[in-house]
C-alpha cells in the first residue's frame, strides 16, 4: 500500500470557485507505451479532470493559489481552445449540453 496522501485545494478566481486535487504518480507501462507520470495536480470540473501541473512537495497554499491562478488565466479564461479532459467523455446528450454551456460561459467571461 502506498504512503501517498491525496491533497485538495480550493481557489476562488475571478469570482468562480475551482477545486484542485492531487493524484499519486504512476510508473511507466511498457505494454501500453505510457510514460511514467509524477504526482500531479488536476482541476476537477463537471465530473472530469484536467492535468494542471506536477505536484511539488511542501508547496505552501499561497504559492498554489498563484500557480493555479496563472494556469486558469492561460487555460480557462483565455481565448485559446480549452484543454482536453484526461477522461473520455461519457455517452449521452447531457454531457454535450453541459460542455456547450461551459464553453458559452467561458466565452462570455472572456468578452467581459
Residue 56, domain member (yes or no): yes
Residue 1, domain member (yes or no): no
Residue 3, domain member (yes or no): no
For residue 15, what pLDDT is reported?
A: 92
Residue 70, domain member (yes or no): yes
* pLDDT per position as a tens digit, 40-93: 999 999 999 999 999 998 889 999 999 999 999 998 888 755 555 555 444 443
DSSP 90-111: PSSHHHHHHHHHHHHHHHHHHH
- When divided into structural domains, the chain yields a total of 1
Q: Identify the H or E element spanning 85.
A: none
Q: Pairing mode, if any, of strands 40-45 and 8-13?
A: unpaired
Scan for cell 470557485, then name that residue.
Answer: 17
For residue 58, what pLDDT is reported?
A: 84
Residue 55, domain member (yes or no): yes
For residue 54, what pLDDT is reported?
A: 93
Rounded to an integer, what distance in angstroms lies between the CA atom of residue 71 and that of residue 57?
19
User: What residues have CB less than 8 Å from 37, skipping those under 6 apart?
Assistant: 25, 26
What is the extent of the structural domain holding 59? 8-111
Residue 81, domain member (yes or no): yes
Residue 2, domain member (yes or no): no
For residue 4, what pLDDT is reported?
A: 85
Residue 30, domain member (yes or no): yes
**Average pLDDT value over all residues in the chain:** 81
Amino acid at each position: 500500500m502506498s504512503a501517498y496522501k491525496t491533497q485538495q485545494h480550493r481557489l476562488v478566481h475571478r469570482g468562480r470557485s475551482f477545486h484542485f486535487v492531487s493524484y499519486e504518480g504512476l510508473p511507466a507501462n511498457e505494454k501500453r507505451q505510457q510514460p511514467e507520470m509524477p504526482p500531479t495536480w488536476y482541476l476537477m470540473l463537471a465530473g472530469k479532470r484536467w492535468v494542471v501541473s506536477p505536484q511539488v512537495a511542501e508547496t505552501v497554499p499561497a504559492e498554489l493559489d498563484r500557480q493555479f491562478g496563472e494556469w486558469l488565466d492561460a487555460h480557462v479564461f483565455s481565448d485559446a481552445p480549452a484543454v482536453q479532459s484526461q477522461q473520455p467523455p461519457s455517452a449521452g446528450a447531457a454531457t454535450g449540453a453541459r460542455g456547450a454551456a461551459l464553453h458559452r460561459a467561458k466565452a462570455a467571461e472572456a468578452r467581459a
